[in-house]
Amino acid sequence: LSDAVSDDDFLDGTLLTCQSFHIDRGGLLRVSSAGHPPPLLLTRAGSAEALPVRGPLPGMAAHEGYRQHHTQLTAGDKVIFATDGFFDVFGPPAENNAPAALLALLPPLAVTDAVQTAQSLWQSFEAAACQAAHGADDATLIVLQYGEA
C-alpha cells in the first residue's frame, strides 16, 4: 500500500489513512493501520480500550510493511472503527490515542447490540459536533460485534 501511494504522482500528493482487519471464526481479530485512529475494543464485560494499532500514513514509509495487531475476541465483544473526524469532536487524544470522553461513553453500551451501540455513539457525536468550536470533519463510524451478546 505504502509503495503504491509513494510511486503514484497523484496519490503521493494526497493525504489518506486506512485500516485493514479480519476476524476469523474463532474470534481472532487481526488489524493493521496506516495513519488511522486506533480501533476501540468494548468487551461484553464492559471494559473499553483503544487497541495499540499504529502505522505511518500510506506513502510515508515506502518499501515497509505494516504490523498486524492480534486480539482474541469473545462472544458479545464489539470493535469500534472510526475516522479522525469522529474522534476529534470528543476532545484531544489521551496517551492511548483515543479521547477520554469517547472511551467514557463505552462501558454502559456493553449490554447493547452493535446497532444500538452505533446509534448511541452517533447521537453523542452529533451533540459533541454541535458544541465543537471548529467545524466538524467528515466522520465514519463502524461497530462490529463478534458472536451473540
pLDDT tens per residue, range 97-138: 788 899 999 999 999 999 999 999 999 999 988 887 666 678
Is 75 within 8 Å of 148 (Cβ atoms)? yes
pLDDT tens per residue, range 53-98: 988 777 766 666 778 999 999 999 999 999 888 998 888 776 567 8
Q: What's the mean pLDDT in 7-17?
A: 67
DSSP string computed for 50-87? E-----PPTTTSTT---PPEEEE--TT-EEEEE-HHHH
Give this prediction's pTM. Answer: 0.86
Predicted local distance difference test score (pLDDT) of residue 42: 98
Predicted local distance difference test score (pLDDT) of residue 140: 92
DSSP string computed for the chain? -HHHHHH-HHHHT----EEEEEE-TT-EEEEEEESPPPPEEE-TTS-EEE-----PPTTTSTT---PPEEEE--TT-EEEEE-HHHHHTT-SB-TTSSBHHHHHHSGGGGGS-HHHHHHHHHHHHHHHHHH-SSPPPP--EEEEE-S--
How does 62-96 read in b/e, with b if 16+ C-beta sit within 10 Å?
A: eeeebeebebebeebbbbbbbbebbbbbbeebeee
Predicted local distance difference test score (pLDDT) of residue 138: 82
Predicted local distance difference test score (pLDDT) of residue 69: 93
